[in-house]
Amino acid sequence: MNDLVGHRRKTLAKVVGEYFSGLQEPYSRLLGWEQDVSNGRLFQEAEAAFEATMSINNVGDPWTTISSEPIHTKPFERALVQFFARAYHDDPDAIWGCTTPGGSYSNLQALLVARDRLQDNVLGFYSEAAHHSVPKAFHTLGIRTCLLGADAGGVMRLDQMAAMLRQHPEARPVVVATAGTTLQGGIDDMVGLRALLEAHGQPFHLHCDAAFFGGYLFLLEDHVPGMNFACFDSLAISGHKFFGLPIPISVFCLRKEDQIVLGDRLCITEGACDVTLSGSRDGHTPLLWWYLVRRKGRAGLRQALGQAMASRDSLSAALKERGYEVLPHDPRSLLVPVAGLPRDFMRRWGLPEARLRGREVTRLTVMPHVDEAMAARFLDELDAAVLARVSCCC
């Protein structure tokens, strides 16, 4: 389109409309992406209650508001942070937090805080199953790292961690543990990690990247041992994954006493410090997220989780029945790693093509929106794809 002149509303509506109708088909097959899409009506309901077109900026620290920046939604952002602080700490008032543009960004902010707290001899640790944003953040911050292996379920190898710590007795470790590794849904052993780090005898920082599973692990009756601030020092949870926020967002939390000041002055206002990396921050999406958790409550979220787990179990059983290999995974995971699905079928369903120990694998991401109808369509199309291959070879 010619961008030198303004366009008619109708023309633009047509362009946008056509683009969005092209998205409907992949939207109806969302089984490979960590994003729930079952909350659309609830977000519409929330947007009806506020001015979605109002320009809002939650600039700087959500816990300080300055008179020159009156258009914000910080009270909702704070309430949201407290919701997660309560979920993962006995005393939510001990926790500081803010929303960030996504889990990757929260990981970066966590490692920045860790590096500045520890100062010297900082050595980063992460496992091969960690999300790519983790080595990216270490690299961005110029932190030397040790890469650790993961076991068959995608869980960090603590024996390798112990060996590395012995080799580097002076190192001050910054460790990224994952609660829900991206491919296999492994949950690292936070209790074991903390014990190793304490025995090492140097100051350390243990960050928990819980981008996906952090959205629901606190809802389980059987709590995951160590999945709380008694074990880790900071936490990242994404909002667009389990909660399905329409715009990427994350919550980043740490103990108040561990907070560092990243900028000594906020905007032109004396006395207000910035403690966020991004500075200007989204004010709409924290409000939607707050609305969602308040409207559903833990009971509603638990119900959504139950629905997702039931779909996961039936899909997993149906794949096994058809002879596909479902790889080892944590029983609390909503990810079903599987080998042997036809590649063209995987592409049609937007399933990631990954390699694990030399094998081609993928994983289903069974979110609350995956209902019986979607699961049946998936399996019917899988059967049809296999049949088509067989008849084409005969």
Ligand X SMILES: Cc1ncc(COP(=O)(O)O)c(C=O)c1O
* Residue with smallest beta-carbon separation from ligand X: 103
Task: Name the nearest CA neighbour of 245 among 21, 36, 29.
Answer: 36
- Sign of the C-alpha dihedral, residues 140, 166, 356, 192? negative
- Report if residue 368 touches ligand X, rule: CB under 6 A: no
Shortest Å, Cβ 248 to ligand X: 6
136/389 with CB nearer ligand X: 136
Secondary structure of residue 15 in the 3-state scheme = helix
131/312 with CB nearer ligand X: 131
Sheet of strand 335-339: strand arrangement? 325-326, 335-339, 359-365, 354-356
C-beta atoms surrounding 168 within 10 Å? 17
**Interface region with ligand X, contact rule CB under 6 A, candidates 56-64, 97-105, 222-230, 318-326:** 97-105
**Interface region with ligand X, contact rule CB under 6 A, candidates 101-109, 116-124, 136-144, 316-324:** 101-109
- Report if residue 102 touches ligand X, rule: CB under 6 A: yes
Query: Within 13 Å of residue 127, how many CA atoms lie on the same side as its CB?
Result: 31
Question: How far lies 254's CA from each of 24, 195, 236, in Å?
Answer: 39, 19, 9
Shortest Å, Cβ 239 to ligand X: 8
Pairing of strands 234-238, 250-255: antiparallel
**Binding string, residues 167-206; x marks residues near ligand X by CB under 6 A:** -----------x-xxx------------------------
- Report if residue 234 touches ligand X, rule: CB under 6 A: no
- Report if residue 209 touches ligand X, rule: CB under 6 A: yes
The full DSSP string for 228-282 is: STTT-SEEEEESSSSS--SS--EEEEEEGGG---SBSSBTTBTT--B--SSSS-B
- Report if residue 333 touches ligand X, rule: CB under 6 A: no
How many whole angstroms separate alpha carbon 42 and alpha carbon 46?
6
Using CB under 6 A, pick the residue from 58, 73, 104, 362 that binds ligand X.
104
Pairing of strands 122-127, 172-178: parallel
Shortest Å, Cβ 19 to ligand X: 22
Using CB under 6 A, pick the residue from 109, 127, 133, 234 that binds ligand X.
133
102/283 with CB nearer ligand X: 102
Using CB under 6 A, pick the residue from 31, 32, 34, 370 that binds ligand X.
34
134/272 with CB nearer ligand X: 134
- Report if residue 32 touches ligand X, rule: CB under 6 A: no
73/181 with CB nearer ligand X: 181
CB burial of residue 29 (10 Å; 0-12, 13-18, 19+)? middle
- Report if residue 282 touches ligand X, rule: CB under 6 A: no
How many whole angstroms separate alpha carbon 194 and alpha carbon 192?
6
With contacts defined by CB under 6 A, how many residues of the chain interact with ligand X? 16
Shortest Å, Cβ 394 to ligand X: 40
- Report if residue 131 touches ligand X, rule: CB under 6 A: yes
Element (H, E) at 37: none
How many whole angstroms separate alpha carbon 230 and alpha carbon 18?
51
How many whole angstroms separate alpha carbon 386 and alpha carbon 156?
36
**Interface region with ligand X, contact rule CB under 6 A, candidates 24-32, 99-107, 109-117, 386-394:** 99-107
**Interface region with ligand X, contact rule CB under 6 A, candidates 75-83, 100-108, 269-277, 279-287:** 100-108
- Report if residue 248 touches ligand X, rule: CB under 6 A: yes
Question: How far lies 382's CA from each of 312, 378, 394, in Å?
Answer: 16, 6, 19
171/210 with CB nearer ligand X: 210
Shortest Å, Cβ 209 to ligand X: 5
- Report if residue 103 touches ligand X, rule: CB under 6 A: yes
The full DSSP string for 119-173 is: -SSEEEEEETTS-THHHHHHHHTT-EEEEE-B-TTS-B-HHHHHHHHHH-TT-EE
* Contact set with ligand X (CB under 6 A): 34, 102-104, 131, 133, 178, 180-182, 209, 211-212, 238, 248, 250
